[in-house]
Chain A
Amino acid sequence: MAALLELSSVSKSFAGLKAVQDVSFSVPEGSIVALIGPNGAGKTTCFNLVAGVYRPDAGEVRLGGARIDGWRSDQICRAGVGRTFQLVKPFAGLTVMENVIVGALNATAGVREARQKAGEVIEQLGLGPKLDHMASSLTLPERKRLEVARALATGPKILLLDEVMAGLRPTEMDHMVAVLRELNARLGLTILLIEHVMRAVMALSAQVIVLHHGEVIASGPPAQVTRDPAVLECYLGEEAV
């Protein structure tokens, strides 16, 4: 499979702190890849480098072969990258429908078409009953689903999901996993997710990339990666290995 998203030797420092260092990996088209690692490993920074929030100090980011590093985040979204925020950022003063319409306008010709598309996405994520509710009135799990709905409505080629499972109850998580699987299977949507919940990682991803101190320390199928001594060490400490 061809790589849809490709990072080659990407680095980013903040005032001397090397947040991401010489990171290279690729996400094949149509796959689900998980990015894991302990807190502060550089996962969200990686996302922000891909989504255009930060410009890499060095290295290249390619989407479908074309370089996108240095682009603004709205340009990167229009190029086909949808993203959610770890700390959800709903448009609090708008309804669920209006939130998702804003996303859908990215991929549609006008408001009428966007409304229709938004309605479909909202149903898909089980937010139908909340259609006319203000986003400010949603619970955290609902806000997480709204984040995914909004990003999905932009019509992305690849979806970057930043800890969308955190704070969900097991049944809610199963629902989210099922939704993401279906999107991947039915639409061929490529997904790159940051996740701490290993249950979800195991259930979803064919490939796992492990970051530690801003560097890739392991990658491969989930079962293999979770047995890797380097991975165990960074999560559990040297003594545990």
Chain B
Amino acid sequence: MREILLGGVPRRGLVLLSILLALLVALPIVVNDYLITVLILILYFAYVGQAWNLMMGFAGQLSLGHALYVGLGAYAAAALYVHYGVSPWIGLGASIAISAAAGAIIGFLAFRFGVSGVYFAILTIAFAEFARIGFDHWSWVGGSAGFFLPVANYTRSDLWNLRGSPTMFYYLMLAMTVAAFVLCHLLLRARVGYYWLAIRESPEAAQALGINIFRYKMYAVVLSAAMTSLGGVVFAFYYNNLFPEQVFHISRSIELILGPIIGGIGTLFGPIVGAFVLTALAESLGEIMHAFGIDIPGIKQVFYGVCLLVVVMFLPDGIWPPLSKALGLDGKRIQGGDKPGKSDTGGGG
């Protein structure tokens, strides 16, 4: 077990990872409520970014509609809770099933009929838009007026019904982020991980080596959708309100993928680093502006744009690859030559 979990990880990396984890566990003791909410946001983006990264970074399938799975997961668990009093811990089963089914339908339509690359990405946007318009008109879950979870002041946190303080949500999100990280780490070291990377690098060569590329691409889409939907469940119970125009909107899908892109597509730490950098910087920027009495609407989006621009221009592989090299954590892969790897990951074909 030890070898399966830790094989190939440099010792220095383990030490740093343990310190980081200990720090994150201890953090709520020292920081105030505002910082906790920022940290929840960071962990949320790290988690859903990891889920998206599994599909794009590992298997090379570009999704620009991941808000679909967030929304379906959020609405499914919230509706079961509001209408039938079902605990989100049970409701998440429905969230996973519905999102996985949606992913399977999109994957089947695309991969069965040879839709790939940007055309696949457009298909994912289309389905997220269908959902947005559909939920706008579905009165059982509030339609465009929004769907609300009952809010009350709780004297203590109720983990079973996910009602409670930000600190509870913080630990929940932390656990999910760690679990997603470990899962992705294990998948990458298994048959399925090797097959995904092969498909990402060259689908034809992968198929010639005996890989059923349809099946493995389906695994990636379904698993990514299921993981993302769990992020949606937490989203619903944390914010207590859902509006189709917000939840399913394409800007949500874009926001969700910025973390892994800036952190480093296809790396395990990229989504985490990216989420941290983006959210922390965006929030502190907001605070600084606020302190100076400046209020510019949309400044956060402008800031995201600038971050993306800087990374694309100066760190085309994202922040993590050069950062891991600087920390001495990049293992023993030898780049050599004049052209670094990942030559065709960006295309998503």
Using Cβ atoms and an 8 Å threshold, which residues of chain A touch B194?
98, 101-102, 105, 111, 114
Asked if B12 CB lies within 8 Å of chain A CBs, one says no
Chain A: which residue is nearest B197 at the CB level? A94
Asked if B210 CB lies within 8 Å of chain A CBs, one says yes
Partner of B336, one of A78, A105, A137: A137
Q: Is the CB of A137 within 8 A of B335?
A: yes
Using Cβ atoms and an 8 Å threshold, which residues of chain A touch B195?
102, 105
Q: How large is the interface on B (under 10, 10 to 19, 20 to 34, 35 or more residues)?
A: 20 to 34
Using Cβ atoms and an 8 Å threshold, which residues of chain B touch A105?
191, 194-195, 210
Q: Is the CB of A74 within 8 A of B212?
A: yes
A214 to chain B, nearest CB (A): 23
B349 to chain A, nearest CB (A): 13
> Chain B binding site: helix, strand, loop or mixed by DSSP?
loop
Using Cβ atoms and an 8 Å threshold, which residues of chain A touch B197?
91, 93-94, 98, 102
Question: When A134-B336, A136-B337 are in contact, do A93 and B210 touch as well, CB less than 8 Å?
Answer: no
* Cα distance, A53 to B344, chains bound together (Å): 22
Number of A-B contacts (CB under 8 A): 111
Chain B: which residue is nearest A72 at the CB level? B207
* Cα distance, A51 to B341, chains bound together (Å): 28
Question: When A94-B197, A95-B333, A136-B337 are in contact, do A111 and B207 touch as well, CB less than 8 Å?
Answer: no
Asked if A150 CB lies within 8 Å of chain B CBs, one says yes
Asked if A151 CB lies within 8 Å of chain B CBs, one says yes
Chain A: which residue is nearest B335 at the CB level? A134
* Cα distance, A100 to B205, chains bound together (Å): 12
Q: Is the CB of B190 within 8 A of A89?
A: no
B318 to chain A, nearest CB (A): 13
Asked if B11 CB lies within 8 Å of chain A CBs, one says no
Q: Is the CB of A93 within 8 A of B191?
A: no
Using Cβ atoms and an 8 Å threshold, which residues of chain B touch A92?
201, 341-344
Q: Is the CB of B210 within 8 A of A89?
A: no
Chain B: which residue is nearest A96 at the CB level? B334
Chain A: which residue is nearest B209 at the CB level? A103
Q: Is the CB of B206 within 8 A of A102?
A: yes
Question: When A98-B194, A137-B335 are in contact, do A91 and B201 touch as well, CB less than 8 Å?
Answer: yes
Partner of A77, one of B210, B334, B339: B210
Q: Is the CB of B201 within 8 A of A94?
A: yes
Q: Is the CB of B208 within 8 A of A134?
A: no
B31 to chain A, nearest CB (A): 39
The 4 closest A-B pairs by CB, nearest first: A137-B337, A137-B336, A91-B201, A93-B341
A interface residue numbers (CB < 8 A to B)? 51, 53, 72-74, 77-78, 83, 85, 89-95, 98, 101-103, 105-106, 110-111, 114, 132-138, 150-151, 154
